[in-house]
Chains A and B, each alone.
Chain A
Amino acid sequence: MSKNKAKKEVQEKEYRKPLIKKRKPNRSIAGDIALYLFLTLVAFVMAFPIIYAVSSALKPLDELFKFPPTIFAQHPTLDNFSDLFITMGKSWVTFSRYLFNTVFITAVGTAGHLIIASMGAFVLAKYEFPGANTFFKVVTVAMMFTGYATAIPNYIILNKLGWIDTYWAIIIPAFASPMGFFLMKQFMEGLPTSLIEAAKIDGANEWKVFSGIVMPNVKPAWMTLIIFSVQALWNNKASTYIYSEERKTLVYALQQIQAGGIARTGQGAAVLVVVMIVPIIIFVFSESQILETMASSGLKD
């Protein structure tokens, strides 16, 4: 009888164990609750302007000017978006052309950046050759200043190349973005070297190793490069490099509409949503891969 009881106790103990262990040590309940409250509050503050931007894009004109304002649209409509299309339809350069310009710049710039940066990152990460470390150090230094510091000489160089007022003025410099290169190299270093050696023993040449073995294995890093590149190119107004109206980007055209004053308030709100929605959606769908890449983003010295 007593043996049985002891057994039962043991069983109960085992049952209880995970329940007790679930709370981590070093954490107080009060602290957790306070943190949750704090995080909720901050999250609300952070999200508020974006929520407000989206809801004002859905408001009809009379609600936009209502005072005191409502946070959520009472009668949501898509009128602002359709108005936007009408205004764009009446512009000298058609909406589809602006859209094509932006999509072209974004797609070509991102694809080229992905291929060129991965090629360079691959040899830097997996081979040793004279100059490799120095080159990587220079790239890291390049991340330390913004593009603005080199904007003027860049303009002069592009001018000498005759690329001012063409798409290439935006696309080609985007190929060389140091950020993507850096992240790609750091991520590729985590790839097991034995994988490459095995492929070499099987008779694959360097290009085959790169395109067949390495690239399929660094897909998370692809997504990261793509989001950073798209984010930079989609939002690129390009107004300093491109003068011709028919080559200007969508964002530029949209912001011209936005600058149209009070009468265009509704359309302006719609523009905000159109511009911000693309990078955010890409991020939402690729978040886990981006975080996987960023795990290797540290700067070691």
Chain B
Amino acid sequence: MKEFFERYVKLRKYNAQIAWKKAKRSKMCYAFLAPYAVLFAMFFIFPVVASIYFSFTYYNILEAPRFIGLQNYISLVLEDDIFLTSIKNTFMIAIITGPLGYIMSFLFAWLINELPRWVRSVAVIVFYAPSIAGNCYVIFSVFFRGDPYGYVNAFLMNTGIIDAPILWLINPTYMLPICMLVILWMSLGTGFLSFVAGLQGVDKSQFEAGYMDGIKNRWQELWYITLPNMKPMLMFGAVMSITQAFGVCDVTMALCGYPSTDYAARTIVTHLFDYGYSRFEMGYACSIATVLFLMMILCNKAIQALLRRVGT
């Protein structure tokens, strides 16, 4: 056992020496990478570490952080009802809009793939435009206005489906579904572009080979040829849609208000804003951020493990 351990240490030492020599030789590479690496560490890695550290403290920017152990997390789970609402809302939004948006992205990318070239580029613009259209989603507050002159209300009342106007954006029952609708409208984003590009790159000869091997319709073609070829893009698209689904806040804030009625449209991110930027309870806000961070990373890892099995 001891001998084995010594050999292991020796090996590691040797490897480290080689790595060090290599590193010395490739100084230039580090020089090129350094500006990005420093900024990246400062604004993406360090904040995560800092967030975990501050989540164990009471910190209000003015005073020095005071260590309070797990108190923040205990309050989050046991005392903060609104946080539990926000978790529930975020999960509802993520579970519904995440997979649906992802499937929509792939489906439309796949459907427009066979269109003639110019039609396809127009279609890409039409489908992708909502996700880069700034705050165009506030137009939905006109459609879903609560009085009888709101277009959706007027339409439903004229057709006789309802007899009194519905307060779409104030009544907690309707708030989340409408937000989800708007988020779905905007969900054909970066992942969609990746799919469109990836589908173009699938080797055409594979389809011919598949035709010889007896693939009968477009669905079989999709499952046996297209999907396995698209695996890297599927992974990338999944990362994009999960990140987006958990980060929802702009839409709910713009449509339902901040704070929304009965906190029915509060998400984790808006809760974070509330404690971080309105109340300056940074320690508490950091514990919310840490929970959000863990949720996103775990969800991403789980989905990736799942996607590895596609088409195998």
Binding between chains A and B: yes
A residues in contact (CB < 8 Å) with B:
24-28, 31, 35, 38-39, 42-43, 46-47, 49-50, 52-53, 56, 67-69, 116-117, 119-124, 127-132, 135, 138-157, 159, 172-173, 175-176, 178-179, 181, 206, 210, 228, 231, 234-235, 240, 251, 255, 258, 272, 275-276, 279-280, 283-284, 287-288, 290-295, 297-301
Which residues of the other chain, A, contact B115 by a CB distance below 8 angstroms? 39
B106 within 8 Å of A (CB atoms):
no
Which residues of the other chain, B, contact A124 by a CB distance below 8 angstroms? 33
26 A-B residue pairs with Cβ-Cβ distance under 8 Å, sorted by A, are A31-B218, A42-B108, A46-B127, A49-B140, A53-B136, A120-B35, A124-B33, A127-B26, A129-B26, A130-B20, A135-B37, A148-B292, A150-B289, A153-B46, A153-B54, A154-B43, A156-B61, A176-B36, A176-B39, A210-B32, A240-B277, A255-B135, A280-B125, A297-B194, A298-B236, A299-B236
Please state if A67 and B22 are interface contacts (CB–CB under 8 Å). no
CA distance A127 to B29 in the complex (A): 7
Instruction: Please classify how large the interface on chain B is, using the bins under 10, 10 to 19, 20 to 34, 35 or more.
Output: 35 or more
Contact of B126 among A46, A53, A150 (CB under 8 A): A46
Quote the shortest CB–CB distance from B245 to chain A (angstroms): 10
From known contacts A150-B44, A301-B304, infer whether A291 and B197 are also in contact, taking CB-CB under 8 Å. yes
B309 within 8 Å of A (CB atoms):
no
From known contacts A122-B32, A148-B292, infer whether A27 and B218 are also in contact, taking CB-CB under 8 Å. yes
CA distance A132 to B30 in the complex (A): 9
Please state if B197 and A294 are interface contacts (CB–CB under 8 Å). yes
B114-147 interface bits toward A, Cβ cutoff 8 Å, 1 = contact, 0 = none: 1100000101111111101111111110010000
Contact of A26 among B42, B121, B221, B246 (CB under 8 A): B221
Please state if B29 and A123 are interface contacts (CB–CB under 8 Å). yes
Which residues of the other chain, B, contact A295 by a CB distance below 8 angstroms? 197-198, 200-201
From known contacts A39-B112, A178-B40, infer whether A152 and B33 are also in contact, taking CB-CB under 8 Å. no
Please state if A298 and B121 are interface contacts (CB–CB under 8 Å). no
- Interface SS of chain A: helix
B247 within 8 Å of A (CB atoms):
yes
Please state if A151 and B272 are interface contacts (CB–CB under 8 Å). yes
Binds A, one of B6-14, B70-78, B169-177, B209-217: B209-217
Closest to B216 in A: A26
Quote the shortest CB–CB distance from B126 to chain A (angstroms): 5
Please state if A120 and B51 are interface contacts (CB–CB under 8 Å). no
Please state if A145 and B54 are interface contacts (CB–CB under 8 Å). no
B95 within 8 Å of A (CB atoms):
no
Please state if A149 and B211 are interface contacts (CB–CB under 8 Å). no
Please state if A135 and B33 are interface contacts (CB–CB under 8 Å). yes
CA distance A95 to B129 in the complex (A): 27
CA distance A129 to B26 in the complex (A): 6
Please state if A69 and B289 are interface contacts (CB–CB under 8 Å). no
CA distance A25 to B220 in the complex (A): 12
Please state if B286 and A152 are interface contacts (CB–CB under 8 Å). yes
Please state if B33 and A119 are interface contacts (CB–CB under 8 Å). yes
Please state if A291 and B289 are interface contacts (CB–CB under 8 Å). no
Closest to B151 in A: A69
CA distance A38 to B37 in the complex (A): 47
**Contacts A147-B247, A150-B44, A299-B236 supplied; 6 other A-B pairs, CB < 8 Å:** A146-B246, A151-B289, A155-B276, A210-B32, A234-B134, A297-B197
Closest to A40 in B: B123
Quote the shortest CB–CB distance from B62 to chain A (angstroms): 11
Closest to A210 in B: B32
CA distance A47 to B133 in the complex (A): 11
Quote the shortest CB–CB distance from B257 to chain A (angstroms): 12
Please state if B242 and A152 are interface contacts (CB–CB under 8 Å). no
CA distance A43 to B124 in the complex (A): 10
Which residues of the other chain, B, contact A154 by a CB distance below 8 angstroms? 43, 47
Which residues of the other chain, B, contact A141 by a CB distance below 8 angstroms? 297
